Each structure stands twice: as C-alpha cells, then as structure tokens.
Amino acid sequence: MRFAERVFALQGESAFDVLSKVQRMERDGRDVVSFAIGEPDFDTPEHIKAAGIRAIEENHTHYTPSAGILPFREAIARYVERTRGIDVSPDEVVVTPGAKPILFCGILCCVNPGDEVLTPSPGFPTYESVIRYAGGVPVPLPFVEEKNFSFDTETFRRLVTPKTRMVLLNFPHNPTGGVASREDLEAVAAIAREKDLWVLSDEIYREMAYEGDVPSIASLPGMKERTIILDGFSKTYAMTGWRLGFAVLPRELAAHVTKLVTNSVSCTAAFVQMAGIAALEGPQDAVRSMVAEYRARRDLLCDALATFPGVVCQKPRGAFYAYANVTEACRRLGVSDSRAFQEKLLEEAGVAVLSRNCFGSRNVGEDQEYVRFCYATSRERIAEGLRRIREFLEK
Ligand code: PLP
C-alpha cells in the first residue's frame, strides 16, 4: 500500500494507549485507579443537556454556516469580552467540533513548511504532531519546575530565530497545571510584535484556575491582531463527547480557517451549538461547584504526594493535573525512567498515571523524571490511589 508522506508526520496520543491497557486490565478483573485520561468525571449540567435535547426536538438538525450560527458566535464574543477584557466581534469567532480542530486549522493556515513553532515542552502531544503534519518544525520551549512550570523568558528569547513563525502557549498548562505571570506573557508579546509572529494561545483550562485569574496574551497591547485564542466546552462544561470548541482570531484569518472547516467537516452540529448557547448564557453554578471540587481534590492529592518518599509535587495553579517529580522515586525503585515507573505502578499497584514521554520530545539536558496525575476522579478513588502509591513506594 502507498500512503502520502504526510501521514507519517502524525502521531497518536499515548494517553489513549494507556487507557486501552487499563480497560484490558479491568476486563481481566483488576481494579485500576486511573489518574490517566484528562477528562472531567462529571456529567454535562442538566440545563445544557435539556437545551441540546430541545434543539433536536425543534429540528435544529440541519447544516449551519461553517463558522457557526450567529447567536452562538455572538454569545462567544460576549463571553470572551467578559473574560479577557478585549472587544470581539462575531466575525472574529469560528466554531468547531471540539477545540482540537482549532490547532489543526490555525497551524495549517499560518505555518509554512520549514517554519519554526515554539511549543510547550512538556506539552499536549497534538501540538508537535500537527506542526510536523503542516511541514513545520516544532521547537520545544521548556516549561520548568523552577518557574512553577512556566518558561524562562531568556530561554524563550534565545529560541526565537528568523525562521520562527508562531509561538504556542497553553495556560493553565497540560500536563503541569502551570500558569504564566503577566511579565512572562509580556516578554512573548514584545518579541511577537517585533518579529511579526503568530501566537496560538490554548486557553481551554482557563476556568479551572485556583490562584486568581489566568491572564490571556490576547489582552496585551497589539496582541489581539496576532493571537488565535483556542477555547471550548469539553473541560469547563464537562462536554468532551459533544465536541464543541471555538477560536477567536483576526477576521482575515477567521475567513481562511472557515474555508478549512467548510472543506473538512462543513460545520459543527446545530443542536450542539444550541447547547453551547445555554452553557455560556445559563447559570454558572455547576462550573463553580466543579472547580471547587477539583480544587479540593488537588489539595488532597498534592498534600499527600508531597509526603511520599522520593516524590516532589508542587501545587498546580490550574487545570486538573499535577505533575510530580519522581526522579528520586525512580532511583529508589531501580527503574530507568518515568515510563518504566508508569508501567511498574500500573502493573504492581493498579494505578494509572502518564509519564513524561506522553507529552512530546524531551528537552536537551532534561534529566528529571515526571509523571502526570489527572485528578478528575472522585475523592474516594484519589484516596485509594494514594494508599496504593504509598505502599508501592515504601515496599
Ligand atoms: N488543548 C489541550 C491542552 C487539551 O488538554 C485538550 C484536551 O485534552 C484539547 C486542547 C482538546 O480539547 P477538545 O476535546 O475540546 O478537542
């Protein structure tokens, strides 16, 4: 069989490989505590489900404009104005089935073969994969423990070359939960303006912030016109399976992205967009209580991990992930790296986490070992997982 070259640039997501292994173990009768997959364990709030059902009954079951229906784009524009403090018009909004297509479309529309894209490292693995698919060159921007899992601005400046075309940011950050300071973002903004760079700002975990607001680079002077804000409903409203996301981006780029949507998926399901309006314009107490619960789980998990032998775990400022340094634990257990740690922990203790290698290529000189815990699971299961991990480490 002959395939186009470009398919070999695409990578899978190792999170899904771990998920199938967990499912296999469960089918074989093992009880596994999973901290692996990054998905809310809550169901979609009732009023959002009701709006989706009503929309089907009212026959919102036809094609829509590719960029999304106007009332939804208006609601998104109001939401982004409210949360980022910038003016947004509905023709600067494109709706997509999930937020992932924004990565695809944004990168395909802005990155030429050979262009360099600075991308968080560790980072959401789709970034590297899509940059390569577009013919671009991913340049890892280390997000480091010493900077509370933001980046060092000097390192950032050093990595920008005449070939740099885009900077990809993600705060709160998957997998570390890190949040950049306004000064860090200002450093990126200054270079982006000077060198005429695009910024793709993945803000999908924006609402899950535990230590105050998360600043958006789009709100800094001269940045809205060069920023693609990626956001969506999967995490905030526990709507992963509905597939609903959006971009806020300059009008001209919005037109190109819309053409990509037309040529690929045509549009996002009409009734799903109606549910999206209910999510944004309806009561927000479900979001508030989910975030409060994530915060309590974060404290439960991180306070305990910090007392475990060989583990160092900062309290993340956002998202629902904790990124624990297990370098010393690996040494004590006699395992070579975090991947071997992940496998041993799953097989021997029945606890699933994701190791560093699930989040893109390692940085030059990176010598610490980390695993990601997703704490979007009940406090009872977290407590059980912690009990097993302590036993595993103290054996
Ligand atoms: N960006 C980040 C950082 C994510 O973690 C995810 C999902 O895990 C996405 C984007 C994609 O979200 P969606 O499921 O809405 O496509």
Question: 170 CB under 6 A from ligand 1?
Answer: yes
Name residue 341's amino acid: F
* Domain stop point among 228, 261, 281: 281
Instruction: Tell me the pLDDT tens digit for each residue of 346-375.
Output: 999 999 999 999 999 888 889 999 999 999
Helix axes 125-133, 100-110, angle to 10 degrees: 40
Q: Give the span between the Cα atoms of 21 and 17, in whole angstroms.
A: 6
Q: Are 169 and 153 in contact (CB under 8 A)?
A: no
Among 281, 300, 332, give the residue marking a domain's end.
281
Quick one: average pLDDT of 366-389?
97
CA of 336 to the centre of ligand 1 (A): 30
Asked whether the bond before 175 is cis by omega within 30 degrees of 0, the reply is: yes
187 with 68, same domain: the answer is yes
Residue among 130, 204, 265 whose CB has most ligand 1 atoms within 8 A, to mutate = 204
Instruction: Kindly state whether residue 48 falls inside one of the protein's structural domains.
Output: no
Q: Within this chain, do residues 77 and 16 fall inside the same structural domain, yes or no?
A: no
| CATH number of 202's domain | 3.40.640.10
The CA 100 to ligand 1 mean position distance, Å, reads: 6
Instruction: Out of 203, 228, 235, give the residue to mutate to test ligand 1, the one with the largest number of ligand atoms within 8 Å of its CB.
Output: 235
Residue 55 located in a structural domain: no
393 Cα–ligand 1 center, Å: 32
Residues 16 and 135 in one domain: no
Residue 51 within any structural domain of the chain: no
Q: Give the pairing type, strands 351-352 and 33-34.
A: parallel
> pLDDT at position 37, please?
87
Closest CA to 203 of 223, 233, 224, 181: 233
Tell me 282's DSSP state. S
**Within a domain: residue 53?**
no
Are 10 and 86 part of one and the same domain?
no
The answer for 311, left when phi > 0, alpha when psi is -120 to 50, beta otherwise, is: beta
What's the rounded Cα separation, in Å, for the pair 249 and 76? 12
**What CATH number does residue 337 fall under?**
3.90.1150.10
Considering the domain architecture, whether residues 150 and 179 belong to the same structural domain is answered as yes
- Are 276 and 302 within one domain? no
Is ligand 1 within 6 A of the CB of residue 204? yes
Which tokens go with 160?
């920008």
Domain match, 314 and 365 both: yes
- Looking at residue 158, its amino acid is R
Whole-angstrom distance, CA of residue 122 vs CA of residue 157: 18
Same domain for 275 and 150: yes
- Is-contact 11 125, C-beta < 8 A? yes
- By the 8 A CB rule, do 118 and 159 touch? yes
**Is 56 part of a structural domain of the chain?**
no
CB atoms closer than 10 angstroms to residue 346: 21
State which ligand 1 atom lies nearest to the alpha carbon of 319. Answer: 5
Q: Are residues 206 and 139 in the same domain?
A: yes
Q: What are phi and psi of 70, to 5 degrees?
A: -60, -45
Least confident of 10-14, 156-160, 196-200, 268-272: 10-14
Residue 172 lies in a domain: yes
In this structure, are 227 and 144 located in the same domain? Answer: yes
Q: Do 242 and 300 fall into the same domain?
A: no
- Are both 92 and 231 inside the same structural domain? yes
**Domain end among 255, 281, 307:** 281
Is residue 54 in some structural domain? no
Spatial separation of the C-alpha atoms in residues 96 and 102, rounded to whole Å: 7
Tokens of 243: 């597939």
Q: Domain total for the chain?
A: 2
pLDDT(332) > 90: yes
Q: Cα angle at 17 between 11 and 19, to 5 degrees?
A: 135
The confidence score (pLDDT) of residue 370 equals: 97
In this structure, is residue 49 part of a structural domain? no
| Model pLDDT for residues 65-118, shown as the tens digit of each residue | 999 999 999 999 999 999 999 999 999 999 999 999 999 999 999 999 999 999
Query: Count of CB atoms within 10 A of residue 287's CB?
Result: 17
Q: Atom 5 of ligand 1 has which residue's CA nearest to it?
A: 174
* Parent domain of 124: 61-281
